[in-house]
Structures are given as structure tokens and as C-alpha cells.
Structure 1
Amino acid sequence: MKLSSKMKLSSKKFSGFVLAALLSLSLIPACLAQAADDEQQARLAEIKQRIESLQQELNQVKGERDQLLKDLEANEKDISELLQRIDKIKSDMQSRGEKLQELKQEEKQLEESRRSMQRRVEQEVAAAYRLGRQEQIKLLLNQQDPQHIARQLRYHDYFLKQRSRVIDDYVSTLDQLSTVSAGIQREQDTLAHERNQLEEKRSALVSAQKSRQRTLDKLARQLASKSGELDQLQGDRSRLQRLVDEVGRAIASLINPSDQTPFSKQRGRMQWPAQGRRANAFGQPRANGITWTGVTIRAGEGEAVQAIHRGRVVFSDYLRGQGMLIILDHGDGYMSLYGHNQSLTRAIGEWVERGDTIARIGNTGGMSQPGLYFEIRRDGKPQDPTAWCRG
């Protein structure tokens, strides 16, 4: 018996040990996943820092033209931020306008209830006045059958309670009406404040746009000669290539999801990132041996720019010559680039799905009219977008 008890005790201890070991093993994947995620975040932070250092180097002012380009960048960043702020204010105003209409409808219903309840309260008060203040004593002094008196007292008590409920409901409705009316006043005050803010931002936007145009006019005079235009095109291409190369090296160690559809499998199946007329063809000459390494899509200012495939944002900022630029990494060395945007809606490190809005069409980077500059690259080398996007 003693041996059997010891064996049972040992068995329980062993079972407990096995359970603890299994629990520990079940936690290992979660711990590893967390560690891997932390490492990815650290790498993304490092990438962001390396890109910022590269941008500072690329944006160094070396002459009058560089200073003008730097001024243009400041102008266009201000305009982008103002447009985003204006959109936010408009969205808030729309939400508040809808809430205000709901409150006014609620106020109307409560006012109707108040008038109806007021009539009932007036009737109850009149009935109470007619009966007088000693109803129960009158009933008791009335020489009638005790059972009849008891019934009358119960009715009387019911009517008193009913009258009390009517008055309580009326008071509650008045309180609700007061709360809703105060809410309407707050929403109206906030809307008035937002309208003022909107006008201020619009005025600031007009001023920033005029400043941008003055800078563009000065640049145009600087680039009047073919050599000036060629220098700028070469500089723009060099900056973009250095950025792409640096990003490519930086993201080489990042891990992409194993369940992601390979970019190469989508050749000829993807949608264009924006709807509009294609202003140039891939490989088409530009100036003195420089050819187009992407496609410019003419589209309306503010229209959505959509991701062509699932990917991670690896650049989202202003780049001289490209304006507001966003770059997606799709894995296996493939990247897609979207330039000259009005504003960017995604930040470095974010994952986006095919069709997600990542930016808004604009004319930053010195463009004369709104449009999207779009490139696809593999291992840093430009690919013909028409081979990848249909239509």
C-alpha cells in the first residue's frame, strides 16, 4: 500500500512536470514571434534613420539652383500639409453636421413629447384641484361599505401613482430637452470655429501656392537652356537611384510573410495605380540620351493612388525631383514607386494591400500639372510597367 501511494505521488509529480514542460514549449513560438517582430521594428527604425541621413546628403545646398529646389520642397511640403489639414477639417465638419441634424431631430421629437406631456400634467393638476387635498379623509368619513371604501382607496392610490409618473416623465423629458439643446449649441459653436479654421487654412494655402509659383518661375529661368534642363534631369535620376539602392540594401534583411503571393506571379494581371492618360512610354527619350524609366499618368488632383500589390512601405517622404514619394517593397527584390503626389497616407513600416489608397494625386516636385509618376523596379533596375499592369 505504501509503495502504491508513493507510485501515485510520483506519477502526479511526473504528470505535473510534463504539463509544465508542454506549457513552456507552447509559449516558445509566441516568444520567438515577439522577438522576431521586435527585431523587424528595430530594423525598420534603422532603415528610416539611414534614409534620413541620405536625404540630408542629397539635399545639401551647393548653389542657387539647389537653394531654389530646397525652397520648392519647403513650399510643396507646406501645401501638402495644408491640404491634408483642410481635408481633415472638412471631414470633421461633415461628421459634426450629421450629428447636428440628429440632435435637431431628437430635439424636435422631445419637444413634441413635452407638449403632449404638458397637456397631461395640466389635466392631472386640474383633476387634483377638483378633488381637493383631503381625498382619502373624505372617503373614510363617507358612510359606505368598508369593502367599497377599500376599493376606492386602492383606486385613489393608483391615480396618485399614475399622476406622479406623468409628472416624473414630464420632468425627465424637460431634462433631456435641455441636454440636447446644450449639445446642439456646442456643435454649432464647434462648427463655427472649424469654418473659421478652414478659411484660415485656405488663405494660407493660397499664399503657399503663390510662393511655390514664384519659386517655379525662378527655376524656369535657371533651366532655360538645354544644359540646365539636362543637369536637373541627371540630378533627379541620380538622387532617385541612390535612394532606391540604399533602400534595397537596407531592406535586404527584412522578412516578408511566407503566405504572400509572389509579385512575379502577378505579371500582366495588376491594375494601374491611378486612372488616367499615360503621358509617356517606358524607355521613351527625354533629353540628350536620358529616357523615361517609368510612366506618368495624368489624373485629377486629389484622386486616389492605389497600391498595385501587397507590400510594405519603405519610403514615404519628399524627394527632390520626385516630390511627395512613396515606395513599396513587395519582396524578392521588387519595388513600386509612386511620385509627385499631393499627399501621402501611409508611413514607413506599414503594410498595405492591393487596391489600398496610399497617396493622393498632385503636382509636387515641380510638375506643371497634376499626375502620378509610377515605376516598377527589380533589384534596383527599372521594369516596363505595361508588362505588369493591364489595360
Structure 2
Amino acid sequence: MTAGRAARSPLPRAAGLLLLGALGGLTASAAAEDPEARLERKKEELAELRRAAREIGEELERTRKREADAREAVFELEERISVLRNRRRRSERNLAANTERREELKAERQRLRERVDRHRDRLEAYLRAAHRAGQSGFLRQLFEHRDPGRIRRALTFMSYLHEARRQEMERLREARERAADVMDELAAERTEETRLRDRLAEQKRAIARRLEERRALLEELEAQSERKRNRLAAVRSDQQALKKVIERLRGLREDGVLEKVGEKHMAARKGELPLPVARPEILAHYGDSRERRSMRWRGLLLGAETGAEVRSIFRGRVAYAGRLRGYGLITIIDHGDNLLSLYAHNRVVYKEVGEWVETGAPVAAVGTTGGRSRPATYFEIRQGGEPVDPLQWCRAPGGSEQRSAGR
């Protein structure tokens, strides 16, 4: 890559200049180089070193800018994928509802078939009755009688028979039309759901391809930059940003809305609450060292399968749901009385700000957003805005064995 060659080229050049300078000193002492010429040569070497350092700095700055642009593109794509996954989730729920509706329509179709059969049987009975009346000379016998009352009754009977036959034919027609409508409705729903599922799947594949391209670019740019030198500042910046978000949430809390809803009961269950991920591998504990020894984990890093459900540890209200630099897609739940729980690096978040959730309700899915290389959920509990050890509140999944696995 052009950027990679540009970033690497000044280093050998500068090293060569230093080596030449050292060799030049030996040559000068051996050959009694003129002091003025030696001073001029040293000035040129110094100027060349400065140019090399400046080129390195400029290239590093360009690399950092490209890295920042690539990170922003990755964040945007992750948000779009989250939106698409939520749409797909809703579509799957609709598909399940439509499947139930189709079963109802199939049952209705069966009832209509039975109804058609009944109407057909009745119509056949009316036709047979009319046929028998014709064969028996019913009309001729009717007109041979001179009794008006008898004639009137006979005509009324024939009228009823004709009307009953007409009504049965009409019901038969309506039943057949409704059955046809049901079949059309079933076919239309199947076609629409298939089309929607295919479209969402294609959008997801397209964005996933783009995301993979961006991630590959990001990895290449990170390899060229001095990532370790900047990592400490980035972590501190991320933590400061998170602290600002939490402080803002505390400042915006509605007075009295969550009063005593959480801590009163949450404190009673301290040490018994579930972890947000089922059967996790604890990759990092509260207080463990991070990248540099001066930084510590302020929560638990829970390894799990991609897409595994992340559940609320206790009932509360969603105070924040979205993207946060360094944490990816994040959900923060307010449990009342200055108790918050935080779930980060999600591949998708299911709840929106203001929604109430119960204990164990799915709020997100495990992912790698925010720059993680393997799927995991970062989990914090904060009391009064300060992080506390989650294992003081939640049951450890595997005791000491699990703890050693995380270290």
C-alpha cells in the first residue's frame, strides 16, 4: 500500500544518516578533516534528520486521519447493520404472525369447503324435489283443481322452493368467492414475506461486505501507526467520554420517577443477581490491568457467542442506547437511586431510550462493535456514578476456575 511505503521509508533513511554521521566522525578524526567543512557537514546531516522527522510526523498524521475516517465509517456501518437487524427481527416476528394467520386462513378455507359441500347438497335436494314434482304431473294436477285455496297453497310452496333454491345458489357462489379470496390472500402474504426477507438479507450481506472492507483497511492503518503509544490516551478519552455521558444522564434524570424503584430491591439481591450473558467466559475482571499497567478494568469483559442475548440484570429504564466511541453500541439502564448498569460492544441494541425493562429482558446481542477482535460484552455497574465490582452484585458463573480463565 502507498501509505505503508510512505510511512516506512523515512526510518531507514534516518538510520542511514545516523550511521553515515558516525562513520564520518571516524573519517574526520583519521584524516584531520577541516573544522569548517565538518561543521557544515553536520549542519546538513541535522537538516536532513529534521526533514526525515518532519516527513515521518506528516505521514503519521495522515495515517491517523485515514484511521479516524475509517473508524467513523465502521461506526456508521455498524449502526446501519444494527438498524437492519432490528428490521429483520421485526420482519421475522411479522412472519411468525403471518404464519399463524395463514393457519387461520387454512382453517377458514376448510370450513368454506365444508360449507360449499352443504350448500351443494341442499341445492341438489331442491332440484330433486322440483324434478319429482315435474315427473308426477304436479302442475297438471294443480290446474285441474278448481279450489282457489288449494291452488294458492301449491303456488306458495313452489315459490318457497324456488326462493330456497335461489338462496342456496347465492350462498354457494359467495362461499366459492370467499374461498378464492382466501387462497389469493395466502399467496400474496407468502410472496410479500419472501420478498421482504430476501431484500433484508441482501442489504445485510452488502453492508457486511462493506464493513469487512473497512475493517481490513482499519487494521492496515493501525498496523502502520504507533498504536501502542496512543492507546493509553484513547482509553482515558473513552473513559472520560463515558463518565460525561453518565454525568449527563444523572443530571437529566426525572425527579421522583425512579425513586426507590431499584436500589431498595436491588440491594436486597446484592450478590444474587444474574450476569447479563448466559455461561460467559470472563476475559477480564474488575481491577485487572489493561493495555498499560496504569489502567484498570472498571467492569467485566464477558466472552460469548456472537448474537447471544444480553439481558438486563434488574428492572429499570433505558437511559442511553446508541454508539459511544471505544464502547461501540451500548445500552445503559437506570435502576433508580444512582444505580446504573452498562452493556457495551453489542452487535445490535433492542431497546430505545425511555423504555422500561424487566429483570432478564433481552436488551442487546453480543458483538464486536467498538473495535473488539472477538465477540464479548463489556459489563459495568455504577453506583453514584462510580464503577463497582459487578461480582459483588452478580453470581459468578464458575468461581475460581472462571476467574483464572479470564486472566
TM over 0.5: yes
Rounded to whole Å, the distance in 2 between the matches of 1:206 and 1:65 is: 19
User: What SS does the aligned partner of 1:279 have?
Assistant: strand
Q: What residue is the counterpart of 2:383 in the other structure?
A: 378
- How far the C-alpha of 1:330 sits from its partner, in A, is 2.0
1:294 corresponds, among 293, 296, 299, to 299
Q: What residue is the counterpart of 1:318 in the other structure?
A: 323
Amino acid at match of 2:385: G
- Aligned pair in 2 of structure 1 residues 252, 140: CA closer, same or farther (>3 Å)? closer
Q: What residue is the counterpart of 2:289 in the other structure?
A: 285
Rounded to whole Å, the distance in 2 between the matches of 1:134 and 1:82 is: 75
- How far the C-alpha of 1:120 sits from its partner, in A, is 4.2
Q: What residue is the counterpart of 1:235 in the other structure?
A: 237
- How far the C-alpha of 1:127 sits from its partner, in A, is 4.0
Residue deviations 1:292-350, cap 9 Å, x none? 10101122222222221222222111001101111112222221111111122222222
Q: What residue is the counterpart of 1:305 in the other structure?
A: 310
Amino acid at match of 1:251: R
Amino acid at match of 1:266: R
TM-score w.r.t. the length of structure 2 is 0.70
Amino acid at match of 1:173: A
Amino acid at match of 2:99: G
1:188 corresponds, among 165, 187, 190, to 190
Residue deviations 1:146-179, cap 9 Å, x none? 9987876676555445434432331221232132
Q: What residue is the counterpart of 2:181 in the other structure?
A: 179
Rounded to whole Å, the distance in 2 between the matches of 1:297 and 1:237 is: 18
Residue 322 of structure 1 contacts residue 339 of structure 1 at CA under 8 Å; is this kept in 2? yes
Please tell me whether residue 368 in structure 1 is matched to residue 373 in structure 2: yes
Residue 223 of structure 1 contacts residue 229 of structure 1 at CA under 8 Å; is this kept in 2? no
- Of structures 1 and 2, the larger Rg is shown by 2
**How many residue pairs align between the two structures?**
331
Please tell me whether residue 273 in structure 1 is matched to residue 253 in structure 2: no
Residue deviations 1:372-391, cap 9 Å, x none? 11000112211000000124
User: What SS does the aligned partner of 1:286 have?
Assistant: coil
Rounded to whole Å, the distance in 2 between the matches of 1:324 and 1:215 is: 21
TM-score w.r.t. the length of structure 1 is 0.73
1:264 corresponds, among 263, 267, 271, to 267
1:72 corresponds, among 74, 77, 85, to 74
Rounded to whole Å, the distance in 2 between the matches of 1:371 and 1:214 is: 20
User: What SS does the aligned partner of 2:305 have?
Assistant: coil
Residue deviations 1:108-143, cap 9 Å, x none? 442354355335434533543453499875453344
Q: What residue is the counterpart of 2:45 in the other structure?
A: none
Please tell me whether residue 347 in structure 1 is matched to residue 375 in structure 2: no
Once the two structures are superposed, the pairs formed by residues 1-391 of structure 1 within 5 Å of their partners are: 63-115=65-117, 117-132=119-134, 138-143=140-145, 156=158, 159-218=161-220, 220-222=222-224, 225-251=227-253, 253=255, 255-258=257-260, 262=264, 263-275=266-278, 276-288=280-292, 289-391=294-396
Residue 326 of structure 1 contacts residue 337 of structure 1 at CA under 8 Å; is this kept in 2? yes
Residue 321 of structure 2 contacts residue 352 of structure 2 at CA under 8 Å; is this kept in 1? yes
- How far the C-alpha of 1:70 sits from its partner, in A, is 1.7
- Aligned pair in 2 of structure 1 residues 135, 212: CA closer, same or farther (>3 Å)? farther
| Paired-residue identity, % | 28
Rounded to whole Å, the distance in 2 between the matches of 1:247 and 1:227 is: 32
Q: What residue is the counterpart of 1:11 in the other structure?
A: none
Residue 347 of structure 2 contacts residue 364 of structure 2 at CA under 8 Å; is this kept in 1? yes
Bigger shift: residues 184-193 or 292-301: 184-193
Residue 82 of structure 1 contacts residue 205 of structure 1 at CA under 8 Å; is this kept in 2? no
Q: What residue is the counterpart of 1:40 in the other structure?
A: none
- Aligned pair in 2 of structure 1 residues 99, 205: CA closer, same or farther (>3 Å)? farther
Rounded to whole Å, the distance in 2 between the matches of 1:168 and 1:135 is: 29
Rounded to whole Å, the distance in 2 between the matches of 1:281 and 1:293 is: 8
Amino acid at match of 1:293: R
Residue 79 of structure 1 contacts residue 209 of structure 1 at CA under 8 Å; is this kept in 2? no
